[in-house]
Structure 1
Amino acid sequence: MNNNDRLVRLRYALDIKDLDMVEIFKLGEMEIKIEDVQRMLLKAKNDEDSTVNEYLKKCDNRTLEAFLNGLIVYKRGRQETRPGEPQKQEFMIKNERNVNNVLLKKIKIALTLTSEEMLDILDEAGVHLSKNELSAVLRKEGQRNYKECGDRYARNFLKGLALKYRD
């Protein structure tokens, strides 16, 4: 699963329109045109191999994280910075291995989900995790009990969100 897939699935699950996506990117401090958003969501036509997962415009890690940061602001409002805190938030996605972990954390924040609600969403999609396993996935990378989140869990979490929010 690549970042474009994550973006498409999240957009579908939360029923976000193209104009709202442009607004969310802007809130995440990234200027992007509606045409670019649409190109990120459309797969390229490939007659030779229909299993190729190529999109018209690639969504890199910075773009995905800008969208997730914007989603938090869109859903919860901008947080006031306290004295002594840096103005700009540093990016959490450092490599391809922690993208799913950051995705789950930021969706949890944006939608104000509890751990129990996240477990219920995963259960609805047919994935059963313990509270400890979820806690390990939500930990900061480098912590003792940190566990990498695989595509299967992220994909099923987004599927569960779609089942919850689109019914």
Structure 2
Amino acid sequence: MQNNEAFRRIRYALELDDTSTVKIFEAGQYDCSVEDISKFSKKDPDKADYELPDTVFAHFLNGLIVYRRGGESAGVAPDEHIDNNKILKKLRIALELYEDEMLAIFDFGDIKLSRHKLSALFRANGHKHFRECNDHTLRQFLKGLVIYHQRQQQPQDL
């Protein structure tokens, strides 16, 4: 999945406005302006300067972890490569999601996963049970995350 699309969907799912997104980038040790955020949020980045580079997206994901959980941001290597599995891992850490919650989110996104298939998404790339997270799987997870987040925000009836 393109970084711009994932960035836009994460912001939508977590209802992040421009101000909080700037704070997340700052927590990830990256200086980003509101103008940069609006460029990165465009649906079809037709210019190269509108594309969200892997290193900048890694700063955003690390900042999301720090913003939601606290602590210090992990450094980002200059040649950092972000793939769908890393996005999923960092979202799981940032949102403090347990296995059952992850399965529920996938279920909201109309994907039925077993516990074994879910754990295969989080294995190291060379592991024999590693499973690549394709674009459809990540899109459906982010779609399910919207529903999950909305339900978490609703007051619980007693």
**Shorter-chain-normalised TM-score: which range?**
0.7 to 0.9
SS in 2 for 1:166: helix
Give the alignment's TM-score, normalised by structure 2.
0.86
Quote the RMSD (CA, aligned, Å).
1.9
TM-score, normalised with respect to structure 1: 0.81
Q: Which runs of 5+ in 2 are unaligned?
A: 152-158
4+ runs of 1 displaced by more than 4 Å?
none
Instruction: Deviation per CA, 1:9-44: give whole Å up to 9, x if none.
Output: 00000000101111101111111111101111123x
Q: How many residues align?
A: 148
Residue identity opposite 1:166 in structure 2:
Q
Pair 63,118 (structure 1): closer, same or farther in 2 beyond 3 Å: same
Q: CA deviation at 1:88?
A: 5.0
2:83 aligns to what? Answer: 99
Question: 2:70 is matched with which residue?
Answer: 77
Unaligned runs of 5+ residues in structure 1 are 44-52, 80-86
Alignment correspondent of 2:52: 59
Residue 88 to residue 154, structure 1, CA distance change in 2 (3 Å): closer
Task: State, as a whole percentage, how many aligned pairs show the same letter.
Answer: 38
Q: How does 1:123-142 map to 2 (within 5 A)?
A: 123-142=107-126
Cα pair distance change 1:127/1:67, threshold 3 Å: same
- 1:65 deviation in Å? 1.0
What is the CA–CA distance in structure 2 between the aligned matches of 1:29 and 1:90, rounded to whole Å? 9
Quote the Cα distance in structure 2 between the aligned partners of 1:139 and 1:9.
Answer: 24
Q: 1:122 aligns with which of 101, 106, 111?
A: 106
C-alpha distance in structure 1 between counterparts of 2:111 and 2:148, whole Å? 15
Question: Which moved further from structure 2: 99-108 or 134-143?
Answer: 134-143
* CA distance in structure 1 between the aligned counterparts of 2:143 and 2:30, rounded to whole angstroms: 27
